[in-house]
C-alpha cells in the first residue's frame, strides 16, 4: 500500500468539478489498497459534504508540492487544478515521489510522470513533448465515482416512457457561478413537450430562478443525491463539465451548454461523436433563447419518438477510467524501483535527501511502527535533519538500487561507555515494499556502518506486533534479549557480524 495526496480546490466561485474527479480517483486508489488524503482549499458546503460522504481526510496545501509530498508521506501526488505550474514535477521529484497530473487540453498542462487528459478525442489532439512519462489521453480515462456507476446500473434496468411529456432536470454544476440555471429554466418551461422541470441550484438563488423561469419549477438544493435525480430524468440540461461525462456514463440523454471557455473543446467533441446534443455557449443561449428553445423541443420530440442518443455515450464512457489511472501509477512506480538485478549500495545521507527522507518518515505505515507516530512538519524535520548530519553519534545512510533510493538505515549511539553500542533502524521506501528489498537494504547499511565501527554492538528495538520487522532482524542475525526493557519494544541484539 502507498499513500496518495490529491491536490485540488473547490469553491463557490471556481466550482467543484475538479474535486468530483479527485473523489473518483481517490475511490479507485482506495479500492486498489492505497490510502488517500485530499489537500487544498475546500470552501463549498457541497464539496465538504462530498468529501465527508466519501470518508476522505483533508489537509491544507503548502505552495511547494515537494513539501506537500514530504509532510503527507505521499508516494503519489495527483494534481487536478489549473494554477499549479510546470515547476510541480521538479518539486515532487525532490522527494522521490511520483507526479500525476490531470489536464483539459491546454488547461492545467504541465510535465508529469503520469499525465491524464480525459476529454473526448484528446488522443487525436497534438500534445507537445515535454518529457512526461505515461500520457493517458481520451474518454477511456474519465474518472467516475462509485455513485455514478451505481446510477448507471439502475438506469439500465429501467424503462423511461416519455409519451406524455418529458421530465427535464437542469444542473449547472455544483455552484452555478454564472447564474445559468434561471436562463435555462425559462426556455425549458416554455418548450413544447416538457411536462416537468427540476432545477438544481443553491437556495440563495431560488428566488432569481423562479423570477426568470416565469412559472413554477421544482427547485432542488445541490447534494450528492443529484445523481439519482439525474438517473430518473428523461432529459438533463447540463454544463459541459465533469457532470456531463457522469450523465453520459449513466446513460441519460443530455443537452449541453458550454458555460465557461475551458468547457468549449469538450462540448464540441461531445457533439461531434454524438454522445450529447448542445445548446451552444451560455452567451449564445442568452443572445438567442428562441433557438435554444427550439433545440430543447427537437430533443424532446426525438425522445418521445424513441430516438435517444444516450446509448452512444454510455458505450464510450464505461466508468472504469479512474481505475486505469491508478493502474498507470502502479506501473510507473514499478519502473522507478528498477531491475531486480541492479546492485544495492549505501551512501551517507546528504542535505539534498531531506525531503525524500521526510516523505518516507511520514508514510502512514511507517508511522504506525515508529517510536513516534505523529506526522512531522517540514520545518521541524529540517532543523532535526541538519543536526543529524552534523552529529557524529548519529549515522544515516541512504540505500539505492541501480541509483534509485529504496530505503534508509540509521544508527544512533546509545548511552553506553565510549559509544560502543548503537541502535539500528530501517525505513523502506513505500514504493519499494513488496520487492523483497528489506534484507538487502539492512545489509547495505550494516556494511557501511561496520567499515568504521567494526567492534560496535548493534541492537534493534522492534514492536512485538511488527512481525515483518521481527522476522527481518531475526534472519539478519539479531536475537531477542529478554533481559532488556525498552518500554513497548522488544530489544534484539546482533550477533558478532564477523
> What residue spans define the domains of the chain?
3-144+320-333, 148-316, 338-494
Is residue 418 very low, low, confident or very high in pLDDT (cuts 50, 70, 90)?
A: low
Residue 164 is predicted with a pLDDT of: 82
Please name the fold of domain 3-144+320-333. Rossmann fold (3.40.50)
Mean pLDDT of the chain: 91
Whole-model pTM over 0.75: yes
Domains 3-144+320-333 and 338-494 agree in fold = no
- Residue with grid cell 430518473, as numbered in its chain: 232
Average pLDDT rounded to a whole number, residues 447-453: 93
pLDDT tens figures, 84-116: 999 999 999 999 999 999 999 999 999 999 999
Residue bearing the bigger pLDDT, 205 or 286: 286
Residue 88 is predicted with a pLDDT of: 97
**Over 90: is that where the pLDDT of 488 sits?**
no
pLDDT tens figures, 148-187: 999 999 998 888 888 888 999 999 865 677 788 899 999 9
**Over 60: is that where the pLDDT of 339 sits?**
no
Long-range contacts, 331-336 (Cβ 8 Å, 24+):
331/134, 332/98, 332/113, 332/114, 332/133, 332/134, 333/2, 333/75, 333/76, 333/98, 333/431, 336/98, 336/404, 336/431
Superfamily of domain 338-494: Gcn5-related N-acetyltransferase (GNAT) (3.40.630.30)
Residue 340 is predicted with a pLDDT of: 58
Task: Give just the sign of the alpha carbon dihedral 286, 289, 295, 299.
Answer: positive
Is residue 132 very low, low, confident or very high in pLDDT (cuts 50, 70, 90)?
A: very high
Q: Kindly give the pairing relationship between strand 421-428 and strand 394-401.
A: unpaired
Average pLDDT rounded to a whole number, residues 407-436: 87
**Over 60: is that where the pLDDT of 498 sits?**
no
Residue 205 is predicted with a pLDDT of: 85
Average pLDDT rounded to a whole number, residues 134-138: 96
Domain 148-316 bears CATH identifier 2.40.160.40: no
Residue 444 is predicted with a pLDDT of: 96
**CB within 8 Å of 2: residues ≥ 6 apart:** 34, 35, 75, 76, 333, 363, 430, 431, 433
Q: How far apart are CA 207 and CA 76, in angstroms?
A: 45
**Over 90: is that where the pLDDT of 201 sits?**
no
Is residue 321 very low, low, confident or very high in pLDDT (cuts 50, 70, 90)?
A: very high
Residue 417 is predicted with a pLDDT of: 53
**Over 70: is that where the pLDDT of 63 sits?**
yes
- List, in sequence order, the alpha helices (H) in 363-428: 364-368, 378-390
Amino acid at each position: 500500500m502507498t499513500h496518495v495526496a490529491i491536490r485540488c480546490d473547490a469553491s463557490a466561485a471556481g466550482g467543484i468539478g475538479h474535486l468530483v474527479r479527485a473523489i473518483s480517483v481517490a475511490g479507485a486508489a482506495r479500492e486498489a489498497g492505497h490510502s488517500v488524503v485530499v489537500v487544498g482549499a475546500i470552501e463549498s458546503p457541497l464539496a465538504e459534504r462530498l468529501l465527508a460522504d466519501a470518508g476522505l481526510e483533508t489537509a491544507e496545501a503548502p505552495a511547494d508540492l515537494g513539501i506537500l509530498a514530504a509532510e503527507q508521506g505521499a508516494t503519489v501526488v495527483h494534481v487536478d487544478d489549473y494554477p499549479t505550474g510546470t515547476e510541480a514535477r521538479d518539486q515532487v521529484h525532490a522527494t522521490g515521489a511520483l507526479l500525476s497530473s490531470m489536464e483539459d487540453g491546454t488547461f492545467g498542462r504541465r510535465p508529469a510522470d503520469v499525465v491524464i487528459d480525459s476529454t473526448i478525442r484528446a488522443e487525436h489532439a497534438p500534445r507537445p513533448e515535454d518529457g512526461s512519462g505515461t500520457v493517458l489521453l481520451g474518454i477511456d480515462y474519465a474518472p467516475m465515482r462509485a455513485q455514478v456507476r451505481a446510477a448507471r446500473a439502475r438506469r439500465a434496468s429501467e424503462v423511461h416512457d416519455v409519451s406524455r411529456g418529458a421530465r427535464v432536470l437542469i444542473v449547472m454544476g455544483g455552484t452555478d457561478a454564472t447564474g445559468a440555471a434561471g436562463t435555462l429554466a425559462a426556455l425549458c418551461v416554455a418548450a413544447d413537450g416538457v411536462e416537468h422541470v427540476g432545477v438544481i441550484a443553491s437556495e440563495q438563488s431560488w428566488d432569481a430562478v423562479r423570477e426568470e423561469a416565469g412559472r413554477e419549477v421544482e427547485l432542488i438544493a445541490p447534494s450528492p443525491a443529484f445523481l439519482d435525480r439525474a438517473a430518473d430524468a428523461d432529459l438533463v440540461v447540463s454544463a459541459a463539465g465533469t457532470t456531463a461525462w457522469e450523465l453520459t456514463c449513466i446513460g441519460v440523454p443530455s443537452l449541453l451548454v458550454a458555460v465557461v471557455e475551458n468547457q468549449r473543446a469538450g462540448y464540441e467533441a461531445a457533439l461531434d461523436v454524438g454522445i450529447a446534443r448542445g445548446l451552444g455557449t451560455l452567451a449564445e443561449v442568452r443572445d438567442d433563447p428562441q433557438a435554444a428553445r427550439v433545440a430543447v423541443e427537437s430533443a424532446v420530440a426525438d425522445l418521445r419518438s424513441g430516438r435517444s442518443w444516450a446509448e452512444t455515450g454510455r458505450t464510450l464512457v464505461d466508468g472504469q477510467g479512474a481505475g486505469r489511472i491508478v493502474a498507470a501509477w502502479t506501473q510507473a512506480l514499478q519502473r522507478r524501483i528498477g531491475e531486480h538485478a541492479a546492485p544495492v549500495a549505501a551512501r551517507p545521507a546528504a542535505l539534498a535527501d531531506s525531503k525524500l527522507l521526510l516523505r518516507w518518515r511520514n508514510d502512514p505505515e511507517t508511522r504506525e511502527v515508529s517510536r513516534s507516530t505523529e506526522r512531522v512538519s517540514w520545518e521541524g524535520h529540517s532543523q532535526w535533519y541538519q543536526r543529524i548530519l552534523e552529529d557524529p553519534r548519529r549515522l544515516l545512510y541512504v540505500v539505492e538500487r541501480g541509483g534509485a533510493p529504496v530505503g534508509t538505515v540509521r544508527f544512533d549511539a546509545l548511552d553506553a561507555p565510549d559509544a560502543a553500542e548503537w541502535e539500528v533502524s530501517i525505513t523502506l521506501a513505500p514504493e519499494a515494499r513488496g520487492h523483497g528489498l528489506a534484507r538487502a537494504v539492512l545489509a547495505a547499511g550494516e556494511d557501511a556502518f561496520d567499515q568504521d565501527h567494526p567492534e560496535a554492538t548493534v541492537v534493534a528495538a522492534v514492536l512485538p506486533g511488527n512481525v515483518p520487522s521481527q522476522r527481518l532482524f531475526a534472519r539478519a542475525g539479531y536475537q531477542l534479549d529478554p533481559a532488556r526493557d525498552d518500554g513497548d519494544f522488544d530489544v534484539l541484539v546482533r550477533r558478532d557480524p564477523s
